[in-house]
């Protein structure tokens, strides 16, 4: 990997910045690279040290992540406390924040102050797939590291080689670029069930608004957390994108290739404005979910507004 060579060069030349912002669409690749970077900074190839970093128990290393929609204030407070201490086993201290865009404005401001006046020998590695949601002042305090996106075709093939069916791999490629996340979603057939739920909801939204409203009960059951509700909406958005491409007859990679015939039939009964409106209301629903608006209310409004 070219980036690992660049990291090795920075280390050998002792040209380390105090903060790096990793941005791209593949969180798995960014995490792997960030961990490699941390290992090289802290360990100098000492295997026992590397193991500590990989297990997240090195005293001079902090890794922050969250399965929720935001990173908690307490996590940032604990991070700042640890980073203000002197290194214990290494010359440096390193912290990684995965999905940095999940920080609240208050959290970002706390980190910003830390970046403006960092303690000696402290290095920040901030990872994001949504750099536009990060304060410009954070950008200006970091060295940007851009990860080039993998082609969708190659990503789909990678998923298929991991044992995922072609149809599921195609849909996953539209909702996550993180291979690790994609594999986790396919465990215990969860994503298969969610995908079926999405396709049924899409058909009902187009054909029978009243039944779609009733079916929302099943949608909430299968997506009972905020991240899963956003996943459901992203999958739904991909379905309507397929409808749009069928309507305007664009031959491109499909999120639901196994449903190509029925999607083409449905597209014939909808105008271009109809489909565009569905995509718009789904996007708006996802935005409201990100703001912690009640999920049932958001989905109900989406179904109602989709018919306008």
pLDDT band at 2; cut points 50, 70, 90: low
Q: Which two tokens stand for residue 133?
A: 């949601």
Give the Å distances, CA to CA, from 221 to 35, 73, 262.
Answer: 36, 29, 26
Domain co-membership, 6 together with 69: yes
Domain co-membership, 83 together with 31: yes
Give the Å distances, CA to CA, from 176 to 27, 29, 68, 262.
Answer: 9, 13, 16, 25
The residue-averaged pLDDT of 103-120 equals 90
- Single out the residue in 146, 180, 212 at which a domain terminates: 146
Task: Say whether pTM exceeds 0.75.
Answer: no
65 exposed, middle or buried (CB, 10 Å; 0-12, 13-18, 19+)?
A: middle
Question: Considering the domain boundaries, does residue 119 fall inside one?
Answer: yes
Q: Is the pLDDT of residue 308 over 80?
A: no
Question: Considering the domain boundaries, does residue 175 fall inside one?
Answer: yes
Residues in the chain: 308
What pLDDT is stored for residue 1 in this prediction?
A: 47
Domain co-membership, 33 together with 139: yes
Domain co-membership, 83 together with 129: yes
Write out pLDDT tens, residues 195-240: 999 999 999 999 999 999 999 999 999 998 988 999 999 999 999 9
Residue 258 DSSP class: G
The CATH number covering residue 186 comes to 1.20.272
Tell me if 27 sits within 8 A of 101, measured CB to CB. Answer: no
Q: CB count, 10 Å around CB of 79?
A: 21
Domain boundaries, position 115: 2-146
**Chain-centroid distance, C-alpha 32:** 15
What pLDDT is stored for residue 6 in this prediction?
A: 66
Write out pLDDT tens, residues 250-271: 889 999 999 999 999 999 989 9
Which residues contact residue 25 at a Cβ distance below 8 angstroms, ignoring those fewer than 6 apart?
129, 147, 149, 177
Q: Which two tokens stand for residue 250?
A: 């664009």
Give the Å distances, CA to CA, from 137 to 71, 111, 133, 183, 241.
Answer: 19, 11, 12, 35, 35
Three-state DSSP state, 94? strand
Three-state DSSP state, 93? strand
- Count of structural domains within the chain: 2
- Single out the residue in 88, 114, 146 at which a domain terminates: 146
- Single out the residue in 146, 173, 206 at which a domain terminates: 146
Q: Is the pLDDT of residue 186 over 80?
A: yes
Counting Cα atoms < 13 Å in the Cβ hemisphere of 272 gives: 4
Domain co-membership, 101 together with 30: yes
Question: Considering the domain boundaries, does residue 153 fall inside one?
Answer: no
Domain co-membership, 56 together with 184: no
Domain co-membership, 174 together with 300: yes
Question: Considering the domain boundaries, does residue 100 fall inside one?
Answer: yes
Q: Which two tokens stand for residue 17?
A: 């910045």
Domain co-membership, 279 together with 206: yes
Q: CB count, 10 Å around CB of 265?
A: 10
Tokens 């209310």 sit on residue:
297
Domain co-membership, 173 together with 212: yes
% the chain with pLDDT above 70: 95
Average pLDDT in the chain: 90
Candidate ranges 19-33, 202-216, 287-301; pick with highest mean pLDDT: 202-216
User: What does the alpha-carbon distance between residue 161 and residue 228 come to, in Å, rounded to a whole number?
Assistant: 25
Domain co-membership, 175 together with 132: no
Question: Considering the domain boundaries, does residue 157 fall inside one?
Answer: no
Among the ranges given (13-17, 85-89, 146-150, 219-223), the one the predictor scored with the smallest mean pLDDT: 13-17
Q: Is the pLDDT of residue 283 over 70?
A: yes
% the chain with pLDDT above 90: 65
The residue-averaged pLDDT of 38-48 equals 87
What pLDDT is stored for residue 73 in this prediction?
A: 85
Which residues contact residue 54 at a Cβ distance below 8 angstroms, ignoring those fewer than 6 apart?
35, 39
Question: Considering the domain boundaries, does residue 101 fall inside one?
Answer: yes
What pLDDT is stored for residue 70 in this prediction?
A: 85
The CATH number covering residue 82 comes to 3.40.50.300
Domain co-membership, 141 together with 239: no
């Amino acid at each position: 990997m070219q980036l690992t060579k660049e990291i090795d060069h920075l280390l050998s030349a002792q040209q380390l910045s105090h903060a790096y912002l990793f941005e791209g669409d593949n969180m798995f690749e960014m995490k792997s690279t960030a961990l490699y970077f941390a290992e090289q900074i802290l360990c100098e190839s000492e295997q026992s040290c590397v193991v500590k970093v990989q297990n997240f128990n090195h005293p001079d290393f902090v890794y922050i992540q969250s399965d929720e929609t935001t990173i908690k204030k307490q996590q940032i407070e604990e991070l700042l406390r640890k980073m203000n201490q002197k290194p214990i086993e290494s010359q440096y201290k390193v912290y990684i924040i995965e999905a940095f865009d999940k920080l609240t404005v208050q959290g970002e401001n706390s980190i910003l102050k830390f970046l403006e006046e960092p303690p000696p020998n402290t290095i920040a590695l901030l990872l994001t797939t949504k750099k536009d949601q990060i304060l410009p002042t954070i950008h200006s305090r970091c060295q940007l590291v851009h990860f080039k996106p993998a082609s969708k075709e190659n990503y789909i093939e990678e998923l298929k080689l991991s044992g995922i069916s072609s149809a599921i791999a195609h849909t996953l490629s539209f909702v996550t670029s993180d291979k690790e996340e994609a594999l986790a979603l396919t465990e215990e057939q969860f994503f298969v069930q969610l995908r079926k739920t999405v396709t049924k909801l899409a058909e009902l939204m187009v054909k029978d608004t009243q039944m779609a409203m009733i079916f929302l009960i099943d949608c909430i059951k299968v997506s009972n957390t905020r991240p899963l509700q956003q996943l459901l909406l992203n999958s739904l958005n991909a379905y309507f994108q397929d409808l749009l491409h069928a309507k305007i007859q664009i031959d491109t990679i499909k999120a639901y290739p196994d449903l190509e015939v029925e999607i083409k039939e449905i597209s014939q009964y909808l105008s271009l404005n109809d489909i565009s409106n569905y995509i718009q209301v789904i996007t708006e629903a996802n935005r409201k979910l990100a703001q912690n608006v009640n999920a049932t209310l958001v989905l109900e409004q989406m179904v109602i507004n989709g018919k306008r």
